[in-house]
Structures are given as C-alpha cells and as structure tokens.
Chains A and B, each alone.
Chain A
Amino acid sequence: MLPKRIYQFVVIYLAALGGLLAIKLVFALSDYVIPSPADLWQTARSVFNRYLGDVLDTLAVAIVGHVLAIVLATVVAIIGRLTNWVGALIKVAAYNLQAYPIVAVAPIIFILLGDGLASRLLIAAMICYFPLLLSFIGIFAEPVADIEHFYTITGRMRWQLEVKIRAFENNAKLITVTAGSATLAMVGTIVAEFFGANAGIGYSLRIALYQSDMAKVLVALFLIGIFTSLYLALLERIGLWLQHKLLLPKGGAL
C-alpha cells in the first residue's frame, strides 16, 4: 500500500510537471514563469535539505493537530449521541463553525496566540476537527439495530459496548474519514504557516512566492505531496491494524 501511494503521487506530479514544461516549450516562456528542468534541479539541490526539515516540521504539527482533533471529535461525538437534542446542537454548531473560512479566522488566532506552535496546532486541529465531528456524530448516533437489539433486551447494553458496536460496524467509514481528514490537517498547518507562522513549509512557500521563485514552489509541492501520501498510507495501515487487533476479539466475534 505504501509504495503504491507514493508511486501514484509521483506519476501525478510528473504528469503535471510535464504539462507545465510542455506549455513552457510551446509558448517560449522564461524560467521566471515556469522553471526549466535544469533550474528545477539546481533549486532542488540547493533547498532540498532545508525544505525537507520544513516539511517534517509541518507534518509533525499536522499529526499532533490531527490526533487532537480525532480525540476531541470522538469524545464530543460520543457525548453528542447520548440525547437527540445535544447531538443536534453539536451538529448545528459544527456546521456553522466550519462555514467560517480559515483564512478569515487565522489572523485572529495569530493575534491572540502569537506566531508560534500553538497557533499552527490550533489551526491544523480546527480545519480537520469539524468534518471529523460531523462524520463521527453521524456514525455514533446511528443504531446498529440487529446487533444492539440482543444486548438491549438481555439488559447487557452499556454505552461503552454501544460505541464499540457502532465503531466496529462502521470501521471502514471511520478509517476513510480519519485518513481523509489527515490531508485537511496538513493543509490547515500549511495555511497557518503561510499566514502567520515563522516555521514550516508553509512559511518557506510564502517566502518563495514573495520572491516569485516557481522552482522552489514546485520542490516544496513535491515534498508536501510525498509526505502527505506517506502519512495517509500510515493511517490506513493503523486503521487495518486496529480493525484486526483491537475490534476483533480473540474468538473472532463480538
């Protein structure tokens, strides 16, 4: 799974790059608009190590923000499923809050929290939290009637068991949603760095754009794509591992 994701990304990246180079060739554009392969190679050699460090920095913040968002969304979704009105309230609040574009909210966060780690983390968590919450509420509030009925009528139903049943029955959805939101966490972190932080690949991208250096932008995009693909692949593996090791008891049934 892991090499496949990387392979897919590299193919897409090279196809897009090839398209750009074809445009450059056809319209005789200078390296200022679209860098030549030599310019790209030269830039990659000069900034690769620095950008690699920046991407890893960004990825680390994105992962922590993502984990925070998952934990928070899980807790809130479990609470939200208890009664209809609490769940409905949380859903409405989540829909409304996620409607605010992060670019509008980010400056306020940076003014209040400064341009350090806290702001990056909060924005990364925020941008993936609400989609996660809405999906988790939907999953945890939906009874699995066939299975739950047995435990309910035998009086053995506990909230922990209810959550476990619903999580197990929807594990594919949970994995997909969680992996999907990882991309959002990465995007959120990069946006945060672009707007206000002083570290990470988003910050480096901002400087490259200030300098109109498309070669640097393309190198940064390559690294972002590679590491986002790696993170997604890792999450899918963790999801499969959880499915097999944690949700399935030793007997093979609940």
Chain B
Amino acid sequence: MCARTHGMHLFAALLFSALLVAGCGSAPPQGASEPINYRLKWLFNVSVVGDLYAEAEGLFAAEGLQVTVKAGGPEKDAIKELELGHAQFGVASADQVIRALAKGSPVVVIAQLFQQNPLQWIYRPDRSRFQTPDDFRGKTVGVTFGGNDETVMKALMAEGGLGEDDLTLFSVRYDYTPFYEGRVDLWPVYRNAQGVIIGDKLRRAGEAAAFFDPAAAGVRFVANSVVTTRAILEEHPQTVQKFITALLEGWRRALDPANAERVLAMIQEHDRDTAPPLLREQLEITRRLVRPDAEARIGRIDAAAWKQTEEIMLAQNLIPAAVNVTASLVSP
C-alpha cells in the first residue's frame, strides 16, 4: 500500500471522527418549542401504536412540544442516541437499560409501556403441552443467541432446574421454517406481532397454536420502556412531564376500543404488509399486554419486575455487578 493510500485512510478516519463530533452533544430541549426526537425500539407496527397515535393526533403539539417519532430497528439504540444528543426520549428494552446502567450511562426510565412482556414462545398444543419449564425437558427450544429471549429462556431453565443437557437450544433467525417443519417445538415470538401472523399460518394449515408465557412460570422480565437522560429529567422536568403526559394519553386513546377503527387505519398506513384482520387481532392483544386490566394505569413502572430482571441478568453474568435499577426508575 502506498503512502498516498495510507494518508487517505488516515484522512477518512479523521473525517469520520469529525463527523461524529459534529453530530454529538446536541443540547437537550431548552424550551417548549425546541424540536424533540423520540427514538422507538422497533419499526412502525402495532407495538408502537400509542406513540404513533400521540403524534398523529397532535397530542404532543397540544402540550406545546415539537416531537418527531422515529422508527427504530435492529441497528438503532435509543440509549446511545440519548447520550449522543440525537434524541431526547426513546424506547429501550429492560436489558438494554440495565446493561447501559452497568456501563455508567445516565439513563432513567420514565414509563413502562408493556405491563406484560410480549416475548413468548409459540408451540403446537396438539403435539406437546407446555405449562411449566419442566415440560421443556427433551424438547427443542428456539432462542436468539445473544438476544433477550435467550436470557429469559435461561432464567426459565434455572427456574425449572434444567441444565443445558436437558433440552436442545436451537439458534433462531428470521426464517421460521424449522418451526413450521416441526423441527423446533417452541419458537420465540412477540405475542402481539409475529405471534398473530404465525398463529394465523398454522390455523390456515389446520393446526392449532398456543403460547408459553414466561410470566406464568414466575419469570417477569420487563419489556420496552420509555427512557431519557437524568440531565434532561433534572434540567427540564416540565418538558419531561409534558412529553410523558401526551405520550401516555396517546396510548390510552389508541387502546380505547372506541377508537379502534381510526387506530387500525393509522397502523395500516405504516404496516401495509399485515392484513387488516390480523392487525385487529394484534391490536386486541397489544391492549391486553399494555393494560392487563381496566384499572391498570398505562405506563406504570413495575419496580418488582425490574428488580427481578436485574437479578436474572446478574445471575447470568450479563452484568458484572448489581446496578440498583430501581434508583433509575422515575415516574415524573
């Protein structure tokens, strides 16, 4: 490699650093009219229905906020964007929050969207019944290695006193063929998203589908929550209050059965690949996961479940030491 090429590589590295610097450290919202970015965890689908509804119905604007709801994705990390100043609010999974706290991130949780974790395992009830972790014995169970479903499954195994030799863990990717072919007995899905779609495919093939919910076995691993930084919370408490008020109102209205048709039309615009009847089913299940009973307050932070989530991660050495996650749970 010649010196010129070498120099170009160095230049590219410096340019990259400079671009990163230029994008860093955007100030938190200074006032009500400052633009606010809200980074979701995943793409626009039924799991973010309340977030989209709050934006579409002008609930943020009604609070005097200019909020842009941004789709997430596998390569997006809301907590990193908060620290880098690219977003002021975001959605992160509990394991992300705890990992971030373990690395000194100033993240705080200001609302817990799902009271029940949508992560469950689909199976065919006519072949095997899965009521407790002990039923996994001798079965092939799908997990995404490195994903939080692996963490939950290992917690379930520990709960049931199962070792690695008692069952076969199957590496899960985007391809559901091994489950359709019956090579895998249990397959991890988000109950309100893929769970509905795969269940529908099984029904069309004349098969029944059932779901194993880890919470039924005592493993309450928290799912997605709304996060911000401690600095934003302390320096702009009113903005945080307004944001969370508008957001939770968006969720309340989106899950109100009276608004179902309007909500479905909105979701259909963002998620054109899911058939309307399936969207309706997804919305119904999302409603139960976010608000398990009519009395439950949307956005309630379940401190006990957070504590258990931290304990699970600590037991599996996913964090080097306790982070006292409850200290970072704040209801504004």
Contacts and interface: CB of A to CB of B under 8 A. Distances in A.
B24 A23 contact: yes
Interface string A199-212: 00000001111111
Interface in B208-253: none
Contacts of A33: 80, 83-84, 105
B103 A8 contact: no
Interface in A1-59: 4-5, 8, 11-12, 15-16, 19-20, 22-23, 26-27, 29-33, 35, 39
Interface residues of A, number: 35
A31 B75 CA distance: 18
A210 B103 contact: no
Given A12-B10, A15-B13, A30 B105 contact: yes
Given A12-B13, A27-B25, A111 B80 contact: no
B103 A39 contact: yes
Contact of B21 (A8, A26, A39, A198): A26
Contacts of B25: 26-27
Contacts of A212: 77, 79-80, 96, 99-100
Contacts of B104: 30-32
Interface string A136-174: 000000000000000000000000000000000000000
A107 interface: yes
A4 B92 CA distance: 44
A4 B3 CA distance: 11
A20 B17 contact: yes
Contact of A32 (B1, B6, B20, B83): B83
B108 to A, nearest CB: 13
Given A22-B17, A207-B146, A110 B106 contact: no
9 contacts: A11-B10, A23-B17, A30-B103, A31-B104, A32-B103, A196-B173, A196-B175, A210-B146, A213-B99
